[in-house]
């Protein structure tokens, strides 16, 4: 299985103008309007509220990220339900393992989607300035 494609602005590989334009066209073709991103009834009211909140705030998300966002919200609502149940009684080992699995999945997806500011900084690597060539002064 190959690596996932990087966005044009974060890609460090030298691309021709035609390659850059082709990639930009494919990236823009995958974007949809904010109103078109829906969970299609896959979430409960609690998960749907979280989905709607993230869609409003995370303007960089596109249609490709929709399935991962739905999975994140599903794990969020399940982990929240386990926490609510834990407030009333002591959790069983099964519930603790399920909570750990849900939160681990949420952590992995939030890294991919860039839901926290530090994750977004990792996704958008700053452009490196080229190092000055110390031998150029000898050639002049």
Mean pLDDT of 59-63: 69
Which pLDDT band, with edges at 50, 70 and 90, does 25 fall under? confident
What is the Cα–Cα distance from 135 to 116, expressed in whole angstroms? 43
Mean pLDDT of 93-107: 93
pLDDT the model gives residue 2: 60
Q: pLDDT at residue 30 above 60?
A: no
Residue 120 token pair = 């977004």
Which pLDDT band, with edges at 50, 70 and 90, does 112 fall under? confident
Q: pLDDT at residue 39 above 70?
A: yes
Which pLDDT band, with edges at 50, 70 and 90, does 35 fall under? low
Mean pLDDT of 26-46: 72
Which pLDDT band, with edges at 50, 70 and 90, does 58 fall under? confident
Which pLDDT band, with edges at 50, 70 and 90, does 78 fall under? very high
Number of H helices, E strands in the chain: 6, 0
Residue 57 token pair = 């705030």
């Amino acid at each position: 299985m190959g690596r996932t494609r990087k966005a044009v602005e974060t890609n460090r590989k030298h691309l021709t103008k035609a390659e850059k334009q082709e990639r930009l066209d494919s990236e823009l073709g995958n974007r949809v309007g904010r109103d078109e991103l829906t969970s299609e009834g896959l979430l409960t009211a609690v998960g749907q509220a979280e989905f709607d909140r993230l869609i409003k705030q995370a303007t960089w998300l596109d249609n490709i990220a929709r399935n991962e966002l739905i999975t994140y919200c599903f794990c969020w609502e399940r982990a929240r339900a386990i926490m609510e149940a834990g407030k009333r009684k002591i959790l069983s080992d099964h519930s603790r393992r399920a909570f750990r699995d849900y939160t681990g999945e949420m952590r992995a997806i939030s890294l991919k989607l860039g839901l926290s500011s530090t994750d977004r900084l990792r996704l958008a690597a700053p452009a490196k300035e080229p190092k000055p060539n110390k031998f150029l002064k000898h050639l002049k």
